[in-house]
Chain A
Amino acid sequence: DSGVTQTPKHLITATGQRVTLRCSPRSGDLSVYWYQQSLDQGLQFLIQYYNGEERAKGNILERFSAQQFPDLHSELNLSSLELGDSALYFCASSVTGQGVAEAFFGQGTRLTVV
């Protein structure tokens, strides 16, 4: 158990809908990362937050947005969902967003868009 909690574990929704994925980082970790992993694809970095502020951005679609709240949990919002958004979404946390701190990953949310 990495200490990073992601909910829900599974989510099935229809095209055009909007969903919110939630991540609770390890206790004491200030930085949160979001990743997308499509079937047979690599891990694609989406976005990173540190203590509530966005710090790094990957190829995140405009239909996707994220935020980190004062209690340090983070949410990833996916809207106008398309079939191609079906994927595993991972959240990771680290003590800091910089330096050599290793990242700890949650078990992911499997999103299926039908």
Chain B
Amino acid sequence: DAKTTQPPSMDCAEGRAANLPCNHSTISGNEYVYWYRQIHSQGPQYIIHGLKNNETNEMASLIITEDRKSSTLILPHATLRDTAVYYCIVRVARGYNKLIFGAGTRLAVHP
């Protein structure tokens, strides 16, 4: 599975959009981009995933660049409850494969 690079930490003001970047320059054509988050010591929570088209759900939007080498998770109106570690994961969408978590980005949303 391709490796990902994320900034270790980010800050965001409550009510503003949080844009979390992820670099996955070695991604291959059959690999999806997944985002999970972990709120302090709770079990990780699935957010969204995509292949090459932008995706949106009730939690967030995922923007994938045309060359698929990077992506951005957007939380449109961040709240204090969005303070968490956000993980960007690239995973082959076939076969039995591990869901490997990196260090992630620690997002702090402040009033």
Chain A residues packing against B (C-beta within 8 Å):
2, 4, 33, 35, 42-43, 45, 48, 50, 55-56, 58, 88, 90, 92, 97-100, 102-108
Contact A90-B44, Cβ < 8 Å, known A99-B93, A100-B93: yes
Contact A98-B96, Cβ < 8 Å, known A4-B43, A107-B42: yes
* Shortest 8 CB-CB contacts between residues of A and residues of B: A105-B43, A55-B96, A43-B101, A102-B46, A97-B96, A100-B93, A105-B44, A45-B98
* Min distance, Cβ A34 to any Cβ of chain B, angstroms: 11
* Min distance, Cβ B84 to any Cβ of chain A, angstroms: 13
Q: How many residues of B contact A (CB 8 A)?
A: 23
Chain B residues packing against A (C-beta within 8 Å):
32, 34, 38, 41-46, 49, 87, 93-104
How many contacts between A and B, using CB within 8 angstroms? 57
Question: Is the beta-carbon distance between A58 and B98 smaller than 8 angstroms?
Answer: yes
B94: which A residues are within 8 A, CB to CB? 98-99
The answer, among B45, B93, B95, B103, for a CB contact under 8 Å with A105, is B45
A56: which B residues are within 8 A, CB to CB? 96-98
With A88-B41, A103-B46 known, 6 other A-B pairs at CB within 8 A are A2-B45, A56-B98, A98-B94, A98-B96, A106-B43, A108-B41
Contact A42-B44, Cβ < 8 Å, known A58-B98, A98-B96, A102-B49: no
B95: which A residues are within 8 A, CB to CB? 98
